[in-house]
Amino acid sequence: MTEVALIVAGGRGQRFAGDGPKQFAPLGGRPVLRWSVQALQRCAHTIVVVPADQFESAHAACAGAAVTLTAGGATRTASVRAGLALVPPDTTTVLIHDAARPGVRQDVLARLRAALAEGADGAAPALPLADALKRTDAANWVSDNADRTGLMRVQTPQMFRFPALAAAYAALPEHSSLDDDIAVATAAGLRVQLVAGDPRLSKITYPEDLAMVERLMGQQRLPCVGSGADAHRFGPGDHVTLCGVRIPHSHGLIGHSDADAGWHALTDALLGAIAAGDIGQHFPPSDPQWRGAASERFLAHAASLVRQRGAEIANVDLTILCESPKIGPHRAAMQARTAEVLGLSPDRVGIKATTTERMGFLGRQEGLAALASALVLRWP
């Protein structure tokens, strides 16, 4: 059985009024269209129908995925027709999906396949209506109470036997414009069954829908933990810098940058949570431009990498290990500075300190060390 996915991303988004068409708006750190491309990547082939002037945005949104882009028509029906023309003739089933519904889950696809395996010509996910339905006049006066028995809200993807749907489109008058593919299929007498839908498949129509769908899909975000450690040797000086705070001390810390072991450990923890290497890879000690550098740059860079991936820092936690200086008096300032650089509220930033009971190199006060962990919420 070959299954081909056809994603319709042809909307101009007149009702969306956001920054460009809704199919390219960012949701969970990637364009809305990309969610569907990824969810349907197990299909033998994916065709994406976009307006002719949006190929560049579509290319960027589909980067790295095996898709065929084609130009859509003036209506949804015309766009699907354009996409169907590219479906290989030996295809068994075709799955037609609106890019504005990014929350495709594999269990929905399994229900659609099961309906076709049971003999349906087509199948679509649908949800019952929860609200009462009223018919109104032009001034919104209720003229009738409509009966919602047997009415369903239909979503996409809609799955069809390809030869049957191709014949249904061929039989449709040339300039017809129908709401969806079930309308085309049933007009040709095909038998279409509805299966259980998913609220995550809600359609993005208005700008506020983005946040709503993102919240619904947010249940899928994965907590990813990262850890970091660093140590610096004491040397000549009259202060140390920890978490960006200048702390007077009998010694300084030796290091290529400002030797802020706290922020170095935190930087590594954040990089670890997104599997992005370590601080030495991003800021090589051999590179003279980092000599004496303020570690705020390292930490801010790691935080921006996390956000570039559409991820969110849930919290960070840091332990300083040293006999001296005393950390307690500076804890609040260290917490506030770290929260500021990471764009977190201070109650998401733990700052702790301990001694090693005079044991080992830390006990002999040869230097100080820091251990950090970070929790990052990532999209799969």
Residue from 99, 96, 126, 97 nearest 13 by CA: 99
CB of 307 to Mg ion, least distance (A): 23
Contact 270, 302 (CB under 8 A): yes
| CA terminus-to-terminus distance, the chain | 28
- Least CB distance from residue 263 to Mg ion, whole Å? 9
Closest residue to Mg ion, judged by C-beta, is 264
Q: What is the dihedral of CA 74, 78, 84, 85, to 10 degrees?
A: -80
User: Shortest distance, CB of residue 39 to Mg ion, whole angstroms?
Assistant: 41
Nearer to Mg ion, 253 or 327 (CB): 253
Task: Count the residues in the chain.
Answer: 380
Query: From CA 159, how far away is CA 161, in angstroms rounded?
Result: 7
Strands (E), 197-296: 222-235, 239-242, 245-248, 252-254
Whose Cβ is closer to Mg ion: residue 6's or residue 369's? 369
Report the interhelical angle of 76-84 vs 162-171 (nearest 10°).
130
Of 147, 374, 176, 172, the C-alpha closest to 263 is 374
We find the least distance from the C-beta atom of residue 232 to Mg ion, in angstroms, to be: 6
The residues near 284 (Cβ < 8 Å, ≥ 6 apart) are 290
Q: Of 76 and 264, which has the nearer Cβ to Mg ion? A: 264
The helix/strand/coil state of 151 is coil
Nearer to Mg ion, 23 or 319 (CB): 319
Tell me how far, at minimum, the Cβ of 267 lies from Mg ion, in Å: 9
Min dist CB 298 to Mg ion, Å, is: 9
Minimal distance, residue 255 CB to Mg ion, in Å = 6
Q: Hey, which residues does 26 pair with through a beta bridge?
A: 31
Least distance from Mg ion to the Cβ atom of residue 246, Å: 17
- The nearer residue to Mg ion, 212 or 254, going by C-beta atoms, is 254
Compute the chain's Rg from CA coordinates: 28
C-beta of 160 vs 290, nearer to Mg ion: 290
CB 112 within 8 A of CB 195: yes
101 versus 264: smaller Cβ distance to Mg ion: 264
What span, in angstroms and rounded, lies between the C-alpha atoms of 184 and 177? 9
Nearer to Mg ion among residue 3 and residue 230 (C-beta):
230
Closest distance to Mg ion from the beta carbon of 314 (Å): 24
122 versus 325: smaller Cβ distance to Mg ion: 325
Taking the CA of residue 36 as centre, how many other CA atoms within 13 Å lie in the half-sphere pointing to its CB? 29
Q: What CA–CA distance (Å, rounded) separates 233 from 347?
A: 30
For residue 312, the surrounding DSSP H or E stretch is strand 312-321
Nearest residue (CB) to Mg ion, 96 versus 261:
261
Closest contact distance (angstroms) between CB of 14 and Mg ion is: 53
Contacts with Mg ion, residue ranges (CB under 5 A): 230, 264
Quote the tokens at residue 164.
């049957």
Burial-class residue 21 by CB neighbours within 10 Å (0-12, 13-18, 19+): buried
